[in-house]
Structure 1
Amino acid sequence: MASRDQFQRFIFEDSQVRGAWVQLSESYREITEQAPYPDPIRKLLGEALVASVLMSSTLKFEGTLSLQAQGEGPLRTLMSECSHDRYIRGLARFDEHAMTDQDFHSLLGEGRMAITITPDKGNRYQGVVPREADTLAGCLEEYFERSEQIATSLLLFSNEQGAAGLLLQRLPGSSDEDNELWDRVNHLARTVKEDEMLELDSETVLHRLFHEETVRLFDSEPVAFRCSCSRERTLGALEAIGKEECYSILDEQGAIDMDCQFCHTHYRFDRNDIDHLFTGHTLH
């Protein structure tokens, strides 16, 4: 059985309108089963994962795109990340005792949302996402309109089994015909149902929506959960904490134990590890 974790680009021929489709199944479950997420938070995390995959399709270099939100509501942290080669990871931190209302703004409360683009080579970039719309998709559409000056539509879906989404963009330099096409395909895209996006393959969905248009599909790409943590990266985090703090923890606890927030891999460092980190050699 073919994997349902797939990403696919498409364009409307002879126009400045492009799109992308994604469906997540196993990767979504691997991520959302890392913690006992309440349904509203799992749904929003699924939407964020889909959004990060769709937005990563706009990158023209190797690297990662992450979506991060910090809030003062029940959902304290929301983070999703996708690399150029479609590896994803994500998490949410929440206060289960504060769960009351379940809409987007009630979950996050007051807070900040940002998109961070980290090239493998080059400078990191971060853009602030406005929090004025009532949905995650609406906030991201406003981000593209304000920060990138690119008209963008995002449809994000998520339930207990999977997540899926559709992105449409009208690129700069569009003609009157492109503008008419943009209005037409946007209207059609908004008619798609959640079960169609979550259960049907891309060709079927896009044919149902845009069968009167000339659409070119590019090869599909697999999407998978993969954490980028490693022992070396964790040591780098300890180095950033500083020598004094690390040795203080060693004196108190005998070792430094750290768990990856995304995949729960456990790392343990003893005094020899910390000696080598800060002096380049061990004393024992």
Structure 2
Amino acid sequence: MTDILRDYSQRFLFEEADIRGEKVLLDKAYWDTLAIHQYAPGVARLMGEFLAAAVLLSNNLKFEGRLTLQARSDGQLPLLMAESNHQLHVRGIARGSEQATANSNEELLSNGQLAITVEPLKGQRYQGIVALQEGSVAHNLDAYFRQSEQLGSRIWLAADGERAGGMLLQQLPAQLVPEPGQRLDQWEHVLTLTDTLRDEEILTLDSATLLGLLYPEEPVRLFDADEVRFQCSCSRKRTHGALSTLHPAELNEMLQEMGRITMDCEFCNTQYHFERTDLAEVLGVDEAKTLH
């Protein structure tokens, strides 16, 4: 299935060990995200890694909702975020990217925090935070896993401005192998094999070929791939809802100055225009009559 999908996420399972994995490749979805903004190469690479990581992490969602991966820093990039939902729709944004010309992670993202936020459509919002350390996005996520996960998890990410991808490995609760020592040996063995993974292999090899290369002696079951695509979750209704949180007097002042209110979506550059009549219910009777 992966040979006909340009953008996919694909699960796999080790048949003789309590370990699962996920392989992600982003092509068009990555391009669609980058096409909206003029990012420098270093920022484009980081965006790709964030998008791939968001997809890998969102595949753990057992409900309808979205996962957001967000970094805030004192570096050249004040904020970088990527989002993936249960349908594997992705989007991302880098704020302050106009002056972000460095190629190193240390210059782009430094002295900040990495937050993973899970927002179910129904239920309670959850957020986990880890300090940004020197090194790759994958290393920072590994640090997050170490402090928040009871079972082992590791992630590998790559992006080159044209394609982005990654792999995730996670230990599963003991079923096939209950003995702790054997479980640890299997986990460390699989990690050692996966640490030989090169960026170009993540970005160019299909899942079956890659798994055969990494684990030639390990029986691995590969599941069907799921399509990933860029799609913004903005809408006129949601934008109207955001305006409704403002005080009517503030909205009226904006309408008097500009004639109508225009809202731009940072993620997809869609513009939403609101006339006074569109906001009559929010403004109230007295404010809506202003200038009439």
2:259 aligns with 254
Q: Distance in 1 between matches of 2:181 and 2:63?
A: 31
Aligned pairs for 1:93-132 within 5 A: 93-97=95-99, 99=101, 101-132=102-133
Name the amino acid aligned to 1:73. G
Report Cα offsets for 1:47-90 as digits up to 9, x if no partner: 00000000112222111001011222211210100011111111
Find the residue that maps to 2:197 and give its secondary structure.
coil
Q: Distance in 1 between matches of 2:183 and 2:48?
A: 32
Question: Does 157-166 or 57-66 show the bigger shift?
Answer: 57-66
Find the residue that maps to 1:22 and give its secondary structure.
strand
Identify the match of residue 76 of structure 1 among 62, 75, 78: 78
Q: Distance in 2 between matches of 1:264 and 1:128?
A: 29
Identify the match of residue 6 of structure 1 among 8, 16, 23: 8
1:45 pairs with 2:50 = no
CA contact (8 A) 1:235 1:277 kept: no
| TM-score, normalised via structure 2 length | 0.91
Consecutive unaligned residues of structure 2, counting only runs of 5 or more, are none
CA contact (8 A) 1:17 1:178 kept: no
1:141 pairs with 2:142 = yes
Q: Distance in 2 between matches of 1:182 and 1:241?
A: 52
CA contact (8 A) 2:111 2:133 kept: no
Name the amino acid aligned to 1:7. S
Q: Distance in 1 between matches of 2:100 and 2:164?
A: 25
Name the amino acid aligned to 1:235. H
1:203 pairs with 2:208 = yes
Q: Distance in 1 between matches of 2:284 and 2:217?
A: 67
2:162 aligns with 161
Identical columns (%): 42
Report Cα offsets for 1:195-241 as digits up to 9, x if no partner: 22111111111111112111111111000000010000001111123
Q: Distance in 2 between matches of 1:29 and 1:258?
A: 24
Report Cα offsets for 1:65-119 as digits up to 9, x if no partner: 01011222211210100011111111112253463x4321221232222111000
Figure out how many residues of one structure are paired with residues of the other and give that number. 283
Shift of 1:133: 4.5
| TM-score, normalised via structure 1 length | 0.94
Report Cα offsets for 1:147-178 as digits up to 9, x if no partner: 12332111100002110100011234463322
Per the alignment, do residues 148 and 241 of structure 1 end up closer, same or farther by CA in structure 2, a change over 3 Å counting?
Answer: farther
CA contact (8 A) 2:39 2:97 kept: no
Find the residue that maps to 1:89 and give its secondary structure.
strand
Q: Distance in 1 between matches of 2:100 and 2:114?
A: 20
1:193 aligns with 198
Find the residue that maps to 1:220 and give its secondary structure.
strand
Name the amino acid aligned to 1:271. R
Report Cα offsets for 1:226-274 as digits up to 9, x if no partner: 0010000001111123323222211211111111111111100011111
Q: Distance in 1 between matches of 2:232 and 2:56?
A: 19
Identify the match of residue 263 of structure 1 among 249, 268, 273: 268
Find the residue that maps to 2:78 and give its secondary structure.
strand
CA contact (8 A) 1:74 1:96 kept: no
